[in-house]
Amino acid sequence: MIFKKGMAVANVTVIGAQWGDEGKGKIVDWLAERADVVVRFQGGHNAGHTLVVEDQTYKLSLLPSGIVRGTLSVIGNGVVLDPWHFREEVAKLKGQGVTITPENLQIAETCPLILPFHRDLDGLREDASGAGKIGTTRRGIGPAYEDKVGRRAIRVCDLAHLDDLELQLDRICAHHDALRAGFGTTPVDRDRLMADLREIADFILPFAKPVWLTLNAAKQKGARILFEGAQGVLLDVDHGTYPFVTSSNTIAGTAAGGSGLGPSAAGFVLGITKAYTTRVGSGPFPTELEDETGQRLGERGHEFGTVTGRKRRCGWFDAVLVRQSIAVSGVTGIALTKLDVLDGFEELKICVGYTVEGKHYDYLPPHPQDQARAIPIYETIAGWNESSAGARNWAQLPAQAIKYVRRIEELIGCPVALVSTSPERDDTILVKDPFAD
């Protein structure tokens, strides 16, 4: 394994500091060109990253973004892997000219598998929930994590031992058959499942590696490791707007457990944050704008999910929530994206607190009903008429746009390391290099 030469040996962990969809794909791609290894450490194929490289657009949902650059890419043990989707995504990228082999892509042998009955259960639960829907992508992510915690999961390493799987199948099918019966659905077809696993095993196993060994060896050699988070901190199963969250921990600390490296490996934690706020699916959203302004943000920002195509809800920047994300995820600096979407607004608003039934909060209270009743307290700041689109240094930004960025820094208590002013990777203002010592 050959790593790039250079003075800096810092690692970088990239996480979303809102509800996901903050533009992590572009930033990770921008960093991946200078990294030696890129690691996905949690989530599944419900997280979409869009990369624009020259005239080519790549849409990823499971593979680490570094694969497009040929950087060694790792799917860590904290990820739940749909093997059939993995094969489809590999085939799609190969069709776009991306080279993908076991030499540049590794999957942790201990990754739990997302199986067809996980997808079934996800959909059955959502359909039965009525108004209480969580807004899941129905891809089986949650049920797969449940089986992992319940010690019933079938993992990547099991694909090499399918003849020894009988007892594990008994455990997992007993659980799912009972659930399926409750929904009036037939039991798991074990013969079909085994046939499907035998069919996919030959494709997956060449990529299966003890990635903790790979990563620890890379660390010892001074490699630059880039940890790529999925979703956002506000969807963290512990720290997010529960129960309208994802099924994994999305904070930077998960990079350690989800990869096999110790907690010191996280390095510089870069929190990706839009210059406004968006959310997909159900759940509280104090600054949501259900008016012409919200529609304008959505149209200008092209706010549709990469994976689901669902329209994103839009609202003003919420400094309270971002400050909370920064605290629980240990963010070192933020990358502020989509600043250009705010061009032309006469005035902008930033949420600086909430009232819940007359009580003031400088954080979002944990109970869903309190969150739903939270009324934002706004600070108004003048907008700008000049264009910020494509700016690559401070001098190219409108003066009022700089004031907006500086005010956000003050309110969230964290410096801005990068500012993104368009989907193009080079339209980025670098304030602090995350890979620098």
Which residues are tagged catalytic?
21, 49
Distance separating alpha carbons of residues 408 and 412, to the nearest angstrom: 6
What SS3 class is residue 421?
A: coil
In 3D space, the residue among 415, 421, 425 whose CA is nearest the CA of residue 396 turns out to be 421
189 CB-near residues (< 8 Å, 6+ apart): none
* Type of residue at 117: F
The answer to whether the CB of 88 falls within 8 A of the CB of 94 is no
Tokens, residue 73: 């890419």
Give dist(CA 132, CA 283) in Å, integer.
10
Kindly give the pairing relationship between strand 416-420 and strand 268-274. Answer: unpaired
* Residue 32 CB neighbours (<10 A): 26
Listing DSSP states for 24-36 in one string gives HHHHHHHHHTT-S
| Beta carbons of 343 and 387 less than 8 angstroms apart | yes
Alpha carbon distance 400, 384 (integer Å): 6
Query: How far is the C-alpha of 132 from the C-alpha of 372, rounded, in Å?
Result: 14
| Paired strand residues for 58 | 51
Torsion sign over Cα 361, 365, 369, 371: positive
Residue 165 to residue 24: CA distance in whole angstroms: 38
Helix count (H) and strand count (E) of the chain?
12, 18
Report d(CA 111, CA 76) in Å as an integer.
7
